């Protein structure tokens, strides 16, 4: 579990994170959502130690990351895998060498063992046969999958994903979402995903933190988000008419007032959902 307590971060006097307190639950897919500029990327970069917060505490399994010396922080970082928004693959290295890089740096295994592990994770992200390709030869979705493979190759305890769906078509985005969700379950990782993709929120979010203008506005599960009365959250999540209708449908369905088949029939006929 990762706990963030009273975290503050500003750049040149401009407050980006204002007293943020949140919990990322162990073994679950935790989502940080919010509009652009709401501070979610800064929050993630503070949590992984790329930014030094002005004040506040970050606790990894109860241990205060902020109070640790650099060697201890390094040990924590070795338990972290991260998928970056632009994948951050090393341009000069092939897919195989990109994924093998953390193994080369931190293990003393022989080449055959390392290659076996690389092939295992590449198979897991459905990239068999792409070993010798360079990042420039890959599509956006493939780059993300290589990024995930590199992030999980050392069996991390924590997986951070910064906008994993940005720049991807909806179908590929769903594949990436599903992959992140499956990996979280299989490897029992604590996953933290930064996103403003509503599909991700509804499909993968076990625990959701909503950020607004540097403040944590709301925290809860994806079931709770449907019934939330928080206006800002509702405006953000259900921005379009289509999503508002979908929310109404889901609320009715969850409250047991209507059944799925009937909703679908009525939607297909254009009559809208009716309360039974």
Partner 1 sequence: MNFFTDFGRYLLLMKGMFSRPENGRMYWKEFMHQCSEIGFGSLGIVVIISFFMGAVSALQTAYQLTNPIIPKSTIAQIVRDTVILEFAPTLVCIVLAGVVGSKIASELGNMRVSEQIDALEIMGINSKTYLVLPKVMACLLMIPLLVILSAALGIVGGRVAATSSGIIAPNVYDKGLLENFIPYNVFFALVKGYTFSFLISSIPAFYGYHVEGGSLEIGRASTKAVVISCIAILFADYVLAAILLQ
Footprint of partner 1 on this chain (CB under 8 A)? 45, 48-50, 74-75, 77-78, 80-82, 84-86, 88-91, 101-102, 104-106, 160
- Considering the complex, state which of residue 31 and residue 48 has its C-beta at the smaller distance from partner 1: 48
Closest distance to partner 1 from the beta carbon of 104 (Å): 6
Q: How far is the CB of 15 from partner 1 (least distance, A)?
A: 19
- CB closer to partner 1, 75 vs 261: 75
Q: What's the CA gap between 76 and 109, in Å, rounded?
A: 21
3-state secondary structure of 213: coil
CB of 112 to partner 1, least distance (A): 17
Least Cβ distance, residue 251 to partner 1 (angstroms): 39
Rounded Cα distance between 121 and 131, Å, is 11
Nearest to 32 by CA among 223, 239, 208, 228: 208
Nearest-approach distance from CB 209 to partner 1, in angstroms: 20
Find the DSSP H helices in the chain: 40-48, 70-77, 95-106, 111-124, 140-152, 170-187, 198-204, 222-227, 231-237, 241-254, 260-269
CA-nearest of 10, 80, 86, 16 to 48 is: 80
Nearer to partner 1, 107 or 172 (CB): 107
Specify the residue, 82 or 142, whose C-beta has the smaller distance to partner 1. Answer: 82
* Angstrom distance (rounded) from CA 62 to CA 26: 12
**Which residues partner with 17 through β-bridges?**
9
Tokens of 244: 């508002």
Q: Which is nearer to partner 1, 89 or 249 (CB)?
A: 89
């Amino acid at each position: 579990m990762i706990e963030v307590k009273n975290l503050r971060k500003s750049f040149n006097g401009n407050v980006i994170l204002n007293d943020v307190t949140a919990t990322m639950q162990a073994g679950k897919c935790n989502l940080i959502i919010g509009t652009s500029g709401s501070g979610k990327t800064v929050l993630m970069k503070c949590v992984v130690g790329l930014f030094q917060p002005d004040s506040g505490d970050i606790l990894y399994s109860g241990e205060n990351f902020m109070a640790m010396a650099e060697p201890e922080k390094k040990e924590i970082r070795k338990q972290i895998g991260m998928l970056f928004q632009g994948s951050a693959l090393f341009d000069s290295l092939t897919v195989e060498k990109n994924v093998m890089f953390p193994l080369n740096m931190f293990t003393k295994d022989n080449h055959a063992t390392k290659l076996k592990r690389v092939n295992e994770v590449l198979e897991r992200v459905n990239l068999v046969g792409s070993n010798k390709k360079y990042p420039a030869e890959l599509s956006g979705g493939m780059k993300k999958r290589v990024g995930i493979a590199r992030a999980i190759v050392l069996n991390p305890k924590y997986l951070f994903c910064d906008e994993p769906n940005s720049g991807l078509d909806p179908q590929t985005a769903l594949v990436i979402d599903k992959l992140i969700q499956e990996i979280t379950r299989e490897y029992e990782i604590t996953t933290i995903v930064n996103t403003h993709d509503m599909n991700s929120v509804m499909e993968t979010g076990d625990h959701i933190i909503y950020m607004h203008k540097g403040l944590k506005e709301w925290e809860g599960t994806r079931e709770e988000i449907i019934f939330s009365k928080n206006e800002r959250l509702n405006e953000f999540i259900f921005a379009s008419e289509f999503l508002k209708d979908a929310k109404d449908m889901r609320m009715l369905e969850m409250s047991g007032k209507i059944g799925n088949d009937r909703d679908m029939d009525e939607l297909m006929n254009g009559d809208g959902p009716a309360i039974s």
